[in-house]
Amino acid sequence: MNTPNSFQQTLSMRNRDDIYSGAEELSSNSNSPSSGVDGRTSPCGSTSTTAESSRANVTSVPAACLACRGRHLKCDGVNPCSRCLSSGSECVYVASRRGYKGPRRNSAQKHGQKHGISSSRTRTRSGEGSVSAKSVRSASMSSSSFLSPKMADSIYNSAVSTPLLDPELVVSNSMENNMSYFGPYDTPDTSNDMFNLFATQQHEHNIIHSPTPNLPGRCIDSFYNYFYAAHPFVLPKETLLMMSQESSVAPVLAVMRWIGSLHIPECPHRGRFFQKAHQLIYEPRRRKDGFLVQALLLLLIGLDGQGQQEQARQILFGVERIATEIGLNTREFATIHGRGMPMMEESWRRTWWELFVVEGLIAGVHRSTDFQLFDVTSDVALPCEEHEYFSGGIPEPIHLQDINEDGLSDMSPKFSSFTYRIQSARNLGKLLRIPPVSGPDDENLSYIETLLTNWQWAVFYIPNSGDDLRQLLRLNIGALSRMSLVWSAAERERSSVKGMAQGIYHVKKKHRSMPEFWIGITQEEAMDRIAADDSVIQEFETVQVMPHIMGQWVDDGTKQWTSGLGDFTTMGANKTDDADSGMDSEQRPVAEKHLLNTAIKNFTWRNVTVTVKDRDTKQPKAIVDDVQGIVEAGEICALMGPSGCGKTTLLNVLARRPTNASNVESEVHANGKHLSLAQFREISCFVEQEDALIGSLTVRETLEFSSRLATTRQVFSLSKTERKIRIDNLLDSFGLMEQANTLIGTPIRKGISGGQKRRVGVASQLITSPKLLFLDEPTSGLDSTASFEVVKYLREVARRNNLIVICSIHQPSTSTFNLFDKLLLLSGGKMQYFGPVNGVTDYYAEIGSPMPQYVNPAEHLLDLVNIDFAPNRDQASQNLETLQAAWQNSQQASEVVTAIKTAESAGGDWSVDTVEKKPSMLSLTLTLFHRSFIKSYRDVVAYGIRIAMYLGLAIMMGTVWLRLTPDQESIQPFINAIFFGSAFMSFMAVAYVPAFIEDRLQYVKEHQNGLYGAAELIVSNFFIGVPYLFLISALFSVISYWLSNFQPTVKAFFTWVLWLFLDLLAAESLVVFMTSLFPSFVISLALVAFANGLWMSVGGFMVPPTILNVFYKYVFHYWDYQKYVFQGMMVNEFAHRVYSCGDGCHCMYQSALADQCKIDGQAVLDQYGYSDSHFGRDVGIMLSIIAGYRLASWLALVLRR
């Protein structure tokens, strides 16, 4: 027992390399090794003298133990198991999940086949072999400016959550609480000294004893010790450090130091390491190359492991774009950039596949991406085994086509361990691409079962310890809980998983009776492991299967199938998102089934031709000429072409929206049938290029009101709880949960970003349960990152809910372009290509216009079909006609026609009862009133600024006409004050123009999508203005009326308020009418100002009605609302008031009171021809004028398209 076995003897041959590259020279206090209380050196220091003296020179031992693997799963080859320690048996490397079973009978060995490695093979490269590293917690990414350097120390300079020197804490608390493939970093067992395997270097003949490294060097050691085995894609340490002086390698080394520092307890300068890595990666002149991809990939994994999932996710989007732009997904990249070194070529291949697997893990576990790399064409060869990579003996690579499409069989382990991970990620990608299941007879169910029957698809790496195995079993429990929603084989597979777990459990239980099993394990640790094993078995009882959460028939008279597959999110043990959202599994399908498209299977169009009159020749000109296409459910199609090619016109025709064309011919069908406009609006919605959103609403409120305005009774009848659930699902699906309570944004108050606004616009349309979604250039005005996010979310929604999405797009980036399923390329209104995006390269190669490598395919296609800037227009036009003729005569064009005819002949049944499912006018009006009320008190432009303006006007009026006295000298000032108060109050109503323009834009969008009509808008707008206008009238009057000393009676005061209130109502109704007629700010403002100027001129103040020109008197004067306001206020002031003639008794107005040196106010009214007996009539006329303006506004909205 005390004799050193082969594992312990191997250590005597290991010494540290003396090559370390440190970008920063840090404090010398960090250079000494850390030692534990028992004298053992920490992973960052040198091995102890005692350990060195006890080692003997033996050959290297590979990474996994065949003798132990079938009986228990503790041994990983680096930390030897108790059986190996006691027996001293040799270990044979095995990388398959169930152990090496040798070649098949009667079959020749294939190149690249895995073998058990003889113990005589010696490694010659640093970092060779597989170290048992806990899977590092799942990754996601950040833009170049996601974290300022000042934040780095506070966020990343904290201690590692798991104490690295405590061998009992194998799994941290954070790992138990948040299950993920990229779990917290491994905690080494310092009792066996094998944690220094990668930090110690051995050459075949010479042993080099290197000095203790400085802190950057220790971090590099730590990286290779604890992180590298889980992600072995960068070059082995010795090779990489030889290239450390190259500037392109600097970002990789900087990130490696930061990641390594995370494994050093209380490591100083952790934040500085991160700052340096961030600085080097995002240098303005940093070249995009493979090393930058490696650095970003390491950074995102490290960030995710530190709980910065959102930042990691953003980086992921960026690194994928860079990888595809530089051609890392091509076979040639490794050859061109491998410098003639097989090891470097292998590193590039591993980098691509590591990026592929990492995104697969993030898509399957975190559900924060759509696994876009799954759809990227790649011919990169598969990685070899780790020991071949580390040794430099790289075999001839094999490729994906060598893999049996049915999966990897454990009986023929001819592929590397890395390939198992790749194939598992590919299976996951296939699963995520399956449209939601519509019923128990859905043909996709059998395909899902094929992918899931081998439950081990979730095992992305080989478990090397009992803790790893427990982790994977729990992940499979979570996977089963999610997948059994629609999987008919869930019960059988649950038994299979449980049976395997029980088998492992019983073997482990049997081993517990063996004394040697407990060697080196404390009693406390033993009890913890027993409890952990027992809990795994108990967890299998929580897996539910049909019919509990699998999906169920809802007997509502229509036998509707509900499914929860769309809710597949993060796999975890026991805890699901349902618990987080406060609903059980039976509540979720009720809220999600409305989004699922089970009615429309395909959308076709053919013979689409749009003609306009040519401005020069005055002859008909086709701007869209004989265009056709088909989009299936779950697909997203891009309409692309140069400016002016007819994209938007075609999109408007497909969406059944009005165009300015003189003639439109089209055959547009859904499920092979032509739909009426009402039916089409019931199943479709359109998102404008500049989508109208109310800036004073939050993101959640925008979706809430869209839900309440939805036309279908299914949505309208949702309870508050169900509506909230549905809105939360949309917010989560579009990545807007963190911005749920943030304002959209106004010119005064900053809100969400442009890309987020586009997502909100799409989400607000999806709340209405459309089956067809049209978008006009959703990425216009956005940068490449925001554009990618918008299209990515569109694709996710289309796939998850089986929707049909068609959008025009101008010039997408490579990564954005690859997100689309189909492409319709236009030029001059004619088709140049229609078909799968991944087939466009082959098509143009067939017709003699191959696409160059390392070029954005979208840019190349646009350059190919754009003749506007060609130096030789005639030649360019001829080439374009050749391309167009090639398409018309191509096999692809014939296939499109055949597919359209097949879809139209197959048809499909669907029905929508438009009348039954429309909310009442009262319900819509109340909803609009509620929304306008929120807008009115949040948006200072609507009423806040106006209230302040009118208060200022009141103070000015009250102080200019301050305390007028009731004598004849004040009669004219009183008249002037009355005119000023009435005329300028109405004139300043132009301030309402911008607020109503926003309401009108919102109305146009929602009306064209069938939500409500003009009547609801006009009525709700009127009633929301009533309380604010009355408040303005009262505040203005309280200040100005008493300061100016108008007739001091209560009745007179409230009569003044009434006339002022009617004045404002009429003025605002005029604004609504003009803006409805001309929805342009400048035009509306000019027309409203002109109209008010006219009313002021003919209202009776400038020229008394008794002498007013006959034309103006009978054409304008009698329906001038300011005339009645001025007349009413004059009567209110003068009808019952007496004024003094002053000294000398020279009265300016003749009245019956002249002998008393007084003037009766009626004498003043007689000068204008006014009488106090027409109060009721005048109020009625004012109300009629207000109603007339509103009716005219309704008519303008109805008649304008």
Give per-residue pLDDT as tens, 467-482.
544 555 555 544 444 4
How far is the C-alpha of 626 from the C-alpha of 608, rounded, in Å?
5
Judgement on whether residues 130 and 238 belong to the same structural domain of the protein: yes
Judgement on whether residues 570 and 626 belong to the same structural domain of the protein: no
* CA-atom Rg of the chain in angstroms: 39
pLDDT (mean) for 1050-1067? 96
Judgement on whether residues 143 and 256 belong to the same structural domain of the protein: yes
- Output 145 or 979, whichever has higher pLDDT: 979
Q: Which pLDDT belongs to residue 1050?
A: 94
- Output 921 or 1201, whichever has higher pLDDT: 921
Note whether residue 1067 is domain-resident. yes
Select from 313, 329, 356 the last residue of a domain: 313
The pLDDT tens digits of the residues spanning 566-612 come to: 332 222 333 333 333 333 333 333 334 556 788 888 999 999 999 98
Note whether residue 436 is domain-resident. no
Judgement on whether residues 766 and 796 belong to the same structural domain of the protein: yes
**DSSP letter string over 448-516?**
HHHHHSSGGGG--S---SHHHHHHHHHHHHHHHHHHTTT-TTHHHHHHHHHHHHHHHHHHHHHHHTSGG
Nearest C-alpha neighbor of 903 from the set 608, 675, 676, 632: 632
Judgement on whether residues 634 and 577 belong to the same structural domain of the protein: no
Q: Which pLDDT belongs to residue 913?
A: 42
- Output 678 or 493, whichever has higher pLDDT: 678
Nearest C-alpha neighbor of 550 from the set 487, 597, 613, 491: 487
- For residue 1031, name the pLDDT band (cuts at 50, 70, 90): very high
Share of the chain above pLDDT 70, in %: 66
**DSSP letter string over 922-984?**
HHHHHHHHHHHHHHHHH-IIIIIHHHHHHHHHHHHHHHHTTT--SBGGGHHHHHHHHHHHHHH
Note whether residue 451 is domain-resident. no
- For residue 636, name the pLDDT band (cuts at 50, 70, 90): very high
pLDDT (mean) for 790-799? 84
Coil, helix or strand at residue 1087: helix
The pLDDT tens digits of the residues spanning 124-173 come to: 333 333 333 333 323 333 333 322 233 333 333 332 222 222 322 222 33
Q: Which pLDDT belongs to residue 687?
A: 86
How far is the C-alpha of 10 from the C-alpha of 289, rounded, in Å?
39
Q: Which pLDDT belongs to residue 593?
A: 56
Judgement on whether residues 652 and 790 belong to the same structural domain of the protein: yes
Coil, helix or strand at residue 201: strand
Coil, helix or strand at residue 602: strand
Instruction: Give the pair of three-digit tokens for residue 176.
Output: 């138990």
Q: Which amino acid is at 558?
A: T
How far is the C-alpha of 72 from the C-alpha of 66, rounded, in Å?
10
The pLDDT tens digits of the residues spanning 902-915 come to: 888 876 655 544 43
How far is the C-alpha of 567 from the C-alpha of 570, rounded, in Å?
9
Judgement on whether residues 224 and 77 belong to the same structural domain of the protein: yes
Domain extent at residue 1043: 921-1199
Judgement on whether residues 613 and 583 belong to the same structural domain of the protein: no
- For residue 305, name the pLDDT band (cuts at 50, 70, 90): confident
Question: 356 pLDDT exceeds 50?
Answer: yes
Note whether residue 406 is domain-resident. no
Judgement on whether residues 893 and 954 belong to the same structural domain of the protein: no
The pLDDT tens digits of the residues spanning 836-852 come to: 998 898 899 898 888 88
Q: Which amino acid is at 532?
A: A
CATH of the domain at 709: 3.40.50.300
Note whether residue 850 is domain-resident. yes
Q: State the maximum Cα–Cα separation within the chain, in Å, rounded to a whole number.
A: 138
Q: Which pLDDT belongs to residue 350?
A: 95
| Lowest-pLDDT range of 149-158, 199-208, 646-655, 983-992 | 149-158
Coil, helix or strand at residue 1030: helix
Note whether residue 359 is domain-resident. no
Judgement on whether residues 45 and 130 belong to the same structural domain of the protein: yes
pLDDT (mean) for 826-845? 90
pLDDT (mean) for 926-946? 85
Judgement on whether residues 618 and 575 belong to the same structural domain of the protein: no
| Lowest-pLDDT range of 291-295, 656-660, 740-744 | 656-660
Question: 1190 pLDDT exceeds 90?
Answer: yes
Note whether residue 328 is domain-resident. no
Judgement on whether residues 925 and 832 belong to the same structural domain of the protein: no
Select from 297, 313, 329 the last residue of a domain: 313
Note whether residue 371 is domain-resident. no
Q: Which pLDDT belongs to residue 614?
A: 80
Q: Which pLDDT belongs to residue 1150?
A: 80
Count of domains forming the chain: 4
DSSP assignment letter at 98:
T
Select from 568, 593, 618 the last residue of a domain: 593
Q: How far is CA 651 from CA 809, 838, 840, 1007, in A?
A: 11, 23, 21, 18
